[in-house]
Amino acid sequence: MAGTVAERDALVSKIEDGHLNNSLGSPVQADVYFPRLIVPFCGHIKGGMRPGKKILVMGIVDLNPESFGISLTCGESEDPPADVAIELKAVFTERQFVRNSCVAGEWGEEQSSIPYFPFIPDQPFRVEILCEHPRFRIFVDGHQLFDFYHRIETLSAIDTIKINGDLQLTKLG
């Protein structure tokens, strides 16, 4: 196992505090270290987003998936709904990885063009969302898949990650 008991306890306490672990260190067994990575998941991004910050989502697609989604939002509010800086949705029936945003209750134009569909039922995946000044860069399994230009101007307000659908989470960073 990677790390000492003290390091493991520190990681577990970060997750229990509702904050994501920002390190991108070696993979850690989810069932041992992160018992709270349950779907649907909602977690706080400490300090919000900023250019150079990366969000890592690792998981395993369910055996018979319909879809799953990853959203970065400005808070957790449901009523009124929080602004959605980026919503990524893998739709298996259409083999699409669509993205959109919702600002002041209005959804923008959905984007769906991708060079290939990277997700396979019952297989692990790694999604990285890199925040740059004008855009998010999305990587799946180490390959850049697309860019999504910011529709929310205050990047630091993007402080919540929500994950739902047909997947198991194994690591967040």
Q: Is 30 helix (H, G, I), strand (E, B) or coil?
A: helix
For residue 117, give every residue at least 6 positions away whose Cβ sits within 8 Å of its Cβ, in sequence order, or none: 90, 95, 96, 97
Q: Would you call 134 exposed, middle or buried from its count of C-beta atoms within 10 A (0-12, 13-18, 19+)?
A: exposed
Q: What is the C-alpha separation between 101 and 172, in angstroms, rounded? A: 22
Respond yes or no on whether the N-terminal peptide bond of residue 80 is cis (omega within 30° of 0): yes
For residue 142, give every residue at least 6 positions away whose Cβ sits within 8 Å of its Cβ, in sequence order, or none: 126
Q: How confident is the model at residue 78 (pLDDT cuts 50, 70, 90)?
A: confident
Each domain of the chain, given as residue ranges in start order, spans 41-172
Does the pTM surpass 0.85? The reply is no
Question: What is the distance, to the nearest Å, from the Cα of residue 21 to the centroid of all Cα atoms in its chain?
Answer: 13
Mean pLDDT value across residues 63-73:
98
Mean pLDDT value across residues 18-47:
61
Mean pLDDT value across residues 151-171:
96
Fold of 41-172: Jelly Rolls (2.60.120)
Mean pLDDT value across residues 128-133:
97
What is the pLDDT, as a whole number, of residue 10? 44
Instruction: Point out which residues pair with 100 in neighbouring strands.
Output: 87
Burial letters 37-57, b for 16+ CB under 10 A, else e: beeebebebeebbeeebebbb
pLDDT digits (tens, 9 = 90+) for 82-99: 999 999 999 999 999 999
Mean pLDDT value across residues 10-23:
42
Mean pLDDT value across residues 21-38:
48
Mean pLDDT value across residues 9-30:
42
